[in-house]
Amino acid sequence: MTVEDQNQASGRFSDAVPRRAWYPACRSRDLKGNRPVPTEFLGTPLVVFRDAKGAAAVLVDRCPHRNAPLSMGRVRNGELECRYHGWRFEGSGRCVAIPGIDAPGERAATAHATMERDGMVWFWSEAGEAADGEPCRLPDLGPGAREVVLTYDIAATMHSAIENTLDVPHTAFLHRGFLRGAAPNELTARRRPIPDGVEVQYLGEPFGIGFLRRKGGTPLEHYDRFLMPCIAQVEYRAGPWLHIVNSVLHLPLDRFRTRAFFVLRATSQRLPTRLVQTVIRVQGPRVARQDAHVLEQQTATIRRFGGERYSSTDLDLFGNTVYRLLRHAEVADGSPPPTIEPREVTFRA
């Protein structure tokens, strides 16, 4: 066991969440009609709506007048109207109308920088601050690709949810028969650093997802990635038969609750893409529910004992590395980022 993989924590919680970063607020398609969308970030209520120009906006969900939640109100002509006294706010947070007063003055709601990309609304985590850069782009699989988006609230820290998505060994047991476990195969995992994250490539894996299985002749390319600060990505390529990328975007609602947006994109030159989409729609929720349940039980156990106590092995290729990257970004003390050592390990799964 390497020094890196000694017990990561004992008596504390690995709930590191970098600030000054982009996080997903909701799906773009959720912003329809005149109802704003409430959400949270680390316990702070937020509200999302479309302004008069059709652009997404994210405000702190509190009216500066009498603290009523703005999410109780409605959008009128691109302005968010507080239900309590009718104060109206534009996307920048500026108050544009107070009933009974001609000039609303300098009063304003607190706003976050916002950007729409790949069908998602992203917000900059620090309110009232100009954003640094842009959210990470999701892979474009080209014409004919199908997309399925699933959303789950998980009783777990963001770190635990990310590790779960990228943890191959558990799939042979928790998801036995769907992803792995029916007939163990010898796999080789190769870990390497990538810009703003870490990637593991798996070699020797047969092609098979749900009932889409093909024996022999089709090598499977499998990559798992973590991209700072909140994206866990799983990619499968099986020649012309299938190309699928599951990008899981994580929003830390509070210390022990994480909202996960599973953005699954798939394409195939040999299979009807509607069939691939149907398999994902049928099997995806089953896998997600199993993961959500085990993470809930994991969190309950950790809280019952008052903290974490991990004992890692060479197969735990992501957990400690992801935590070190998150923690370094959270502290933001100007020190160089942690070194990610390349590693290769062979195992059966």
> What would the pLDDT profile of 247-300 be if each residue is shown by its tens digit?
999 999 999 999 999 999 999 887 787 877 887 888 888 999 999 999 999 999
Ramachandran angles phi, psi of 172, nearest 5°: -70, -15
Q: How far apart are CA 25 and CA 122, in angstroms?
A: 5
19-28, 80-89, 237-246 — which is least confidently predicted? 237-246
User: Which is the CATH superfamily of the domain at 146-348?
Assistant: Naphthalene 1,2-dioxygenase Alpha Subunit; Chain A, domain 1 (3.90.380.10)
pLDDT above 80 for 232:
yes
Chain centroid to CA 341: 25
What's the token pair of residue 61?
């969900």
Q: How far apart are CA 264 and CA 36, in angstroms?
A: 26
pLDDT above 70 for 2:
no
Q: How far apart are CA 34 and CA 158, in angstroms?
A: 31
Classified by CATH at the fold level, domain 22-124 comes out as: Rieske Iron-sulfur Protein (2.102.10)
pLDDT above 50 for 9:
no
pLDDT of residue 125: 98
185 vs 256, more confident = 256
Average pLDDT, the chain: 90
Q: How far apart are CA 168 and CA 207, in angstroms?
A: 15
Taking 3-state DSSP, the helix, strand and coil percentages for the chain, each rounded to the nearest 5, stand at: 20, 35, 45
Ramachandran angles phi, psi of 317, nearest 5°: -85, -20
Mean pLDDT of 27-51: 97
6-20, 81-95, 107-121, 245-259 — which is least confidently predicted? 6-20
The model's pTM is 0.92
Q: Assign 215 a pLDDT band (cuts: 50, 70, 90).
A: low
pLDDT of residue 124: 98
CATH 3.90.380.10: which residues of the chain? 146-348
Strand locations in 157-305, DSSP E?
A: 186-194, 197-203, 207-209, 212-214, 221-227, 231-238, 242-254, 257-267
Task: Find where tokens 């975007």 sit.
Answer: 249
Strands 257-267 vs 37-41: parallel, antiparallel or unpaired: unpaired
CA atoms within 13 A on the CB side of 222: 19
Q: How far apart are CA 231 and CA 261, in angstroms?
A: 10
pLDDT of residue 220: 86
Contact 15, 39 (CB under 8 A): no
34-38, 252-256, 278-282, 308-312 — which is least confidently predicted? 278-282
The DSSP element (H or E) to which 159 belongs, if any, is: helix 158-166
pLDDT above 70 for 214:
no
pLDDT of residue 265: 94
- For 116-151, give the secondary structure using H, E and C: EECCEEEEECCCCCCCCCCCCCCCCCCCCCEEEEEE
Q: How far apart are CA 170 and CA 186, in angstroms?
A: 15
CATH 2.102.10.10: which residues of the chain? 22-124
pLDDT of residue 282: 83
6-15, 39-48, 206-215 — which is least confidently predicted? 206-215
Q: Assign 176 a pLDDT band (cuts: 50, 70, 90).
A: confident
Which strands make up the sheet holding 120-124, listed edge to edge? 22-27, 120-124, 114-117
pLDDT of residue 211: 46
Which strands make up the sheet holding 37-41, listed edge to edge? 37-41, 44-50, 56-60, 111-112
